Every structure is written in C-alpha cells, then in structure tokens.
Amino acid sequence: MTVFVEQLNLGGHGPRVAIKDTIDVAGFATKAGCRALETAAPATASAEVVERLLDAGYHLAGKTNLHELAFGTTGINHWTGTPLNPRFPAHVPGGSSSGSAAAVAGGQVPVALGTDTGGSIRIPAACCGVFGLKPTFGRVSRKGVMPAESSLDCVGPLAADMDALIDCMRVIAPGFDALPPIEGVSIGLVQVQAIAPIREAVEAAIRQSGLASAPVSLGRFVQAYDAGLVVINAETWAACGELVATGLVGEDVAKRLLAASKTTPADLEAAEAVRAAFTAEVDAALRDFPVLALPTMADAPPLLEAAADTSKLVGMTSLVRPFNLSGHPAIAIPLPSVQGFPISLQLVAAKNDDELLCAVARHIAHQINQD
C-alpha cells in the first residue's frame, strides 16, 4: 500500500497526522511525487501549517504520496506507486491528495493534510469515503507549500470524522472560532448533471438533515469549470514547466503540462472575467441560502483498470473546480452507498464562513449516521 513516501516520527503525543508531500517538513525533501525532484535538497524549515500542528502536540506520522506534481485527478503515480483505495479497492484513490485520503480511510491516521487547487482534497476524499475540506482561499497559510504562487490552491484537512477535521482546523486556521448554531439555516440545492444514484443520495441526505432546502441555479457553473482549468494550467506551467525538459516527469503529467504551456494571456484574461462573474453569482446565491449543496462527483470514480491515461480524466473535477476559481470554502462528506462505489455530498458556504460550513457538515453527518 503506497501511502507514505517518507516515514516521520516527529512531534508530541497528540493525534497522528499525515502531511502531503507538497508541504515542507524541515529536514526532508519535498518531492511532490516526481522523479525530477528525486535529488531535491531537504527543506530548511517546515511549512507554517506544519509548525502549527507541531506546536499543538500533533504527531507527524509521514509524508504522503500524491498524483505527480499535484497535477492530476486519479492519484495514479507510475514512479512512487499508486495508493490503494482502502474502502473501494477497485477504484482509483483520487488525486491529487491520494495518499492523504488513503491514510485516513485505511486508519493509519485520523487526519491528514492535503492541498486543493482544482479538487485535490475533495476528489480523493470522495473516492476514499472520508471527509475533506477546502477552506476559504487564504484562510490557511500556504507558506512552505508547493507551488509557492497560486490563486487557486488551499491547504486543508482530510479526516475520518468531522470532529477530527474541526480540531485540525482550529490548529491550522488562525481565528477559527466556535461553530455557530445552525437553526434557521437553509440549503440551496445546486442543479447540476449527475447520475441518478448520486443525485438521489444527495437529495436524501439533505432531506434527512431536517434543514429547509430549495433548488438554485448557477448559470455560469460550466464556464467556471473551464476557466478554472485555464488558470490552473497557466499557474502550474509557470511553477513546474521547466521540469518537463528533464525527461523525468511522468507521461500523463508531461502531456498535461505541455498542453498547459499553450495558455495565452488572452485565455487568462477571459478566465479572470469568468472568475469575477461566477464569484458574484455564488455570492448572490449564498445571500439566499447560507449553504449550497451538490454532489462532490457526478459519477462513480474510474476503475483502476480503466484509468491508465490519467490526462483524460480531468473531468472528474467537474463539480468541484468552480469553487477553486471563486475561492469559496467547500467540503466533501461521505454518504451511504449500496451501489458498490463511493458517493459524496459537497457543501459550499460564503467566504470565511468555514465555521458555519463545518457546523452544517457535522450536523448532516450525524443525521446520516443516526438513520
């Protein structure tokens, strides 16, 4: 089970935590699952989120595997190996934070850190049947996290339950307050395309919550997905493009990077216009409904045997990537499934309403487990 790429034994006697290998830990090289970084020098300092965890007494268990350069959705890595999806072993573990999700799902740790630029926490959380939070953009420090510059990327926790996730957020997010009451909170059910079993499970979970709900439409949703791809392509090429010339980048990621290199300034300008318009649209919906709900994934995760060319599976992020573009906090919640594949509910809240988002997520998870 290729979950940890580096075993650690650091910190106190508190909860065990795993750290995605795009996040610096002092004394250990950050290799991001890429052979081109095999000889990278050890980090001279730990990322700010790691320092916060150590100061709070967390025990660092290891650095986790990932989709190479955090630029893929399946979690398949032909150099470091692909983590087994512990609960759904026929399916991909999801990317890019595959090892972090698998470590939680397999019980090695109650909580792990991942990063999410286009769904890279929520997709593996959904695939592996665990909780995963993308905080509000900028709420959690990215100092010491690869890539150094990003307008999309967020550090956040994946956890076995909401209590572990909330405890971790209280440590890594300065000013994370007590959870607010949720009485009177209503939920907007975002109208998106998804297969029937997923759509029905999401609607059932909202009904079980006992919270008022009504449909809501986001007309620029598909545009936002496309624009998010443009931005991540430009920013990842700027951060990692030079590695392609080494010949040591995996074929699937190299193919995506070379395609990303063709992003033009005009493409970016158009994407930024969509970002502004879609953000305003989401903000408006959240004035009517404090929380939005939709599936995390529109379909079952790909089977491992059908996921050889991971560059063709970027569409796994169709329902999550728009909220990277807009910067709103979003969380993936595992739902019961009798389909043989995982199903996950995604909730979205207003910027910096991460506490409300977690309060509603914890309530829904509790109601599901009661029934």
Q: Which residues does the chain have with pLDDT short of 50?
A: none
Predicted local confidence at residue 41, as pLDDT:
98
**Amino acid identity at 326:** S
Predicted local confidence at residue 50, as pLDDT:
98
The model's pLDDT over 17-49, given as tens digits with 9 standing for 90+, comes to 999 999 999 999 999 999 999 999 999 999 999
Helix axis angle for 48-55 and 162-172, nearest 10°, is 110
What is the pTM (predicted TM-score) of this model? 0.97
Predicted local confidence at residue 1, as pLDDT:
54
Predicted local confidence at residue 371, as pLDDT:
55
As given in the structure block, the two tokens for residue 303 are 């089977």
Q: Could you tell me the strand order of the sheet in which 187-190 lies?
A: 4-11, 59-64, 16-20, 111-116, 154-159, 131-134, 330-335, 343-349, 291-295, 187-190, 213-216
Return the active site residues: 20, 96, 120
Predicted local confidence at residue 306, as pLDDT:
85
